[in-house]
A and B are shown apart, each in its own frame.
Chain A
Amino acid sequence: MIAQFPALQVVIPLLGAPLCIILRRGALPWLIALLVSWAALAMAATLLSQVADGEIISYALGGWLAPLGIEYRIDTLNAFMLLLVAGTSSAVLPFAYKSVAKEIPQDRHYLFYSGFLLMLTGLLGMAITGDAFNVFVFIEISSLSSYAMIAMGRDRRALSAAFTYLVMGTVGATFFLIGVGLIYAVTGTLNMADLAERLPPLYQSRTVLAAFAFISVGILLKLALFPLHLWLPNAYTYAPSVVTAFLAATATKVAIYLLLRFGYTVFGAEFVFNIVPASEVLLTLALAGVIIASFVAIFQSDVKRLLAYSSVAQIGYIILGISYANVTGLTASIVHIFNHAVTKGALFLVMGCVAYAAGACRLESFAGLGKRMPLTMAAFVIAGLSLIGVPLTAGFISKWYLVLGAMEKGWWPVAAVILATSLLAAVYVWRVVEIAYFRDAPADAPPLSDPPLALLVPTWVLTGACVYFGIETSLSLGFAEQAAIQLMGGG
């Protein structure tokens, strides 16, 4: 049974999706989604424990052996991503029950949960597969379902946001496909491990260079690195709260995983950093993204959009770590993938709570919330501190390694920028905090209180995780370090 977990990890959510449509009555689809997600989490945890000592699981899908068949190949990094994706969905689905009931018409609930499971399938698949073309298929499964999910937002702007995302996302995925086609043309294989062996003699080939360019631009579009982030703010702002929380925590993160996988495993660090000037390009874009997006975030009047721009900045941090091309930087990136997922997940769930109670996430609707929704706003403050990177929160751990990596490189200005932009984060978080705690609600405002426990508990679980992973780091940091060493070692 456990031997089949790599396949079941993807197959169970995939089967759950049509099941939601068949059993569409009442709360059943939600229950199915929840159980499936928890099962996926249990499987991901099992897989992670199996690879915890550095072992690599290779699973031949359908019994067709690699390199001809599709291979699922799980090392520490894969398993870590699986845990992140399944863990986030398991945390946000309990939240979904009440939040979706409020935000989406009753007759579409089963479609929502079915789409949610497809999105989960796609993301888990992207993280687990060891086959380059299979990655494309899973990218499209997750993307198509997320376009549909975003379009379910209450505001009509959700529709245009989803359309923009569809166009940009499809272009990104197609670019990726072109790149895969080109490396297939020169190597004749699609298996990642096989590619890793066949590519080094071909490093000087122009086809390989072009393939790398197409693949990386395609992935960078999906992970929303500045200046390819234009789809992200609207998509996050207008999507239903649960979808925003899930997407922000996982979708861009899995895309970053793909960048790592293709950069380090398939093409190899030697090619990426010595033959192609990837380090310089990524560094420039990441720094520009961190600085510009942080500034833009300060001037937003919608808190969800503010957090969306903050996400663009945080993605910049993660890419920054990759651009160092050393173990410390890579560790920082991987641990920040995890820590930022937890933090942003918590913050967007808070947005869900506010949207549930107040109906909107505009800055002015936060006035007086400190008094009227104390538990919700307390969660915002704590998760916000983690976003800034204050000690004893998860964000601090990532910042620590990020700055340390820059110092190891001797990139002092970069270290200074990281610390300075943390202060920008403090500015945009504190803007919200000040309005919530110091501005009184308008006299004619309807009475508000904290949302029901069904929303508060998941929010506080993720908020608690922000603190937990800032103190007890053996799970996040331990696996991130191991994954980084495996990647740098060419594994």
Chain B
Amino acid sequence: MEVLGHFNYWVVVVLMMIGFYALIARGNLIKKIVGLNIFQASVFLLFITLGKVTGGSAPIIAEGITVYSNPLPHVLILTAIVVGVATTALGLALVVRIHESYSTIEENEIADMDREP
């Protein structure tokens, strides 16, 4: 029960590892960006999980409700999502430029071309 009760944390960890694996093991730059996104998304989930208060309602003040979820993590993650989008956009822009100059987006091929002539 203890383990299952924390299932959302398990999801976070599994997603994080998938993202991290893709980031490290894939040579394709686009796939790396995808991995990075999954990795970041897992952290967003972690924060949102923290804000959950059992039995709490959405944090909008209303008559008769005393227990609210914590709104702060949501706000933080909103910011983090924006940052994540910006990172992805910049990463993809770089990949486009790399493709223009190297005609490939495979990491090992770029490394070969970069080697001192």
Closest to A137 in B: B79
The reply on B15 being an interface residue by CB < 8 A is no
Shortest beta-carbon distance from A394 to chain B in Å:
34
CB within 8 Å of A: which residues of B? Answer: 20, 23, 29, 32, 36, 39-40, 43, 46-47, 50, 72-73, 76, 79-80, 83, 86-87, 90-91, 94-95, 97-98, 101-102, 110-111, 114
Contacts of B46 in A (CB 8 A): 178, 181
Complex formed: what's the CA distance from A92 to B39 in Å? 36
The reply on A174 being an interface residue by CB < 8 A is yes
Complex formed: what's the CA distance from A177 to B80 in Å? 9
The reply on A284 being an interface residue by CB < 8 A is no
Q: Are A163 and B95 in contact (CB under 8 A)?
A: yes
Task: Report A170-194 CB contacts with B as 1/0, cut-off 8 Å.
Answer: 1100100110010011000010000
The listed residue (A159, A174, A178) touching B94 by CB distance below 8 A is: A159
Please give me the 3 A-B residue pairs with the lowest Cβ-Cβ distance, nearest first: A156-B101, A140-B83, A159-B98
Q: Are B97 and A159 in contact (CB under 8 A)?
A: yes
Closest to A302 in B: B116
Contacts of A133 in B (CB 8 A): 76, 79
CB within 8 Å of B: which residues of A? Answer: 133, 136-137, 140, 144, 147-148, 151, 156-157, 159-160, 162-163, 166-167, 170-171, 174, 177-178, 181, 184-185, 190
Q: Are B76 and A144 in contact (CB under 8 A)?
A: no
Shortest beta-carbon distance from B89 to chain A in Å:
9
Q: Are A185 and B98 in contact (CB under 8 A)?
A: no
Q: A160-B110, A167-B32 are in contact. List 10 more A-B contacts (CB 8 A).
A: A137-B79, A144-B90, A147-B90, A159-B97, A162-B94, A166-B90, A174-B39, A177-B80, A178-B43, A184-B73
**7 A-B residue contacts at CB 8 Å?**
A133-B79, A140-B87, A144-B87, A148-B90, A163-B94, A167-B32, A171-B39
Q: Are B97 and A151 in contact (CB under 8 A)?
A: yes
Contacts of B43 in A (CB 8 A): 174, 177-178, 181
